[in-house]
């Protein structure tokens, strides 16, 4: 099962994915994409660590997400990727100004069909950034466009899409496994 979990900052996305993962009663693997580049981000990461059960295995992978998912998608685990928008930011900071043509972006898009048929339950957590005005600045528009296109591609393959608002889960798509 592949589920895309979307929402704004502090909407409850990570908590929702973690709760779902625990409810699956399988070993949980968290692929964390954040990098602690400043004090505020260090505090955010610390908060996530403090509220996470100790038996969740964590792999920190800020760039090579597709390879990491490929190494684990065919196991009887639950995988959480938290989060796709930080991963895209990391790619952008690596001078990947053509995000949608970058190797890593394409690799993830190319593997969505496999991920949707995986043995593992996979929760892809991401910020919904496209609900506001068109951002000023070319780099901001490139980023928002890449995020929006990635979300559309994932939603097409995912069995479930959930939008988090104020800690409440709203089902956008829910297909039974068949």
**Which residues does the annotation mark as catalytic?**
48
Chain position carrying tokens 């038996």: 55
Sheet bearing 2-7, strands edge to edge? 57-60, 28-32, 78-82, 121-127, 2-7, 160-165, 168-174
Query: What are the strands, taking DSSP E only, across the chain?
Result: 2-7, 28-32, 57-60, 78-82, 121-127, 160-165, 168-174
* 176: Cβ contacts below 8 Å, ≥ 6 apart: 159
DSSP secondary structure code for residue 164 in this structure: E
């Amino acid at each position: 099962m592949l589920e895309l979990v979307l929402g704004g900052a502090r909407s409850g996305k990570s908590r929702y994915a973690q709760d779902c993962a625990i409810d699956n009663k399988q070993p949980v693997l968290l692929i964390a994409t954040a990098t602690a580049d400043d004090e505020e981000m260090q505090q955010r990461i610390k908060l996530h660590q403090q509220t996470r059960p100790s038996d969740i295995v964590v792999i920190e992978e800020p760039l090579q997400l597709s390879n990491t998912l490929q190494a684990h998608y065919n196991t009887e685990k639950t995988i959480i990727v938290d989060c796709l928008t930080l991963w895209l930011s990391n790619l952008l900071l690596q001078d990947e100004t053509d995000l949608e043509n970058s190797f890593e972006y394409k690799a993830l898009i190319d593997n969505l069909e496999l991920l949707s048929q995986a043995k593992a339950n996979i929760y892809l957590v991401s910020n919904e950034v496209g609900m506001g005005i068109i951002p000023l600045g070319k780099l901001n528009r490139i980023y928002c466009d890449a995020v929006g296109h990635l979300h559309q591609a994932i939603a097409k393959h995912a069995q479930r899409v959930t939008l988090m608002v104020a800690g409440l889960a709203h089902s956008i798509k829910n297909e039974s496994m068949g």
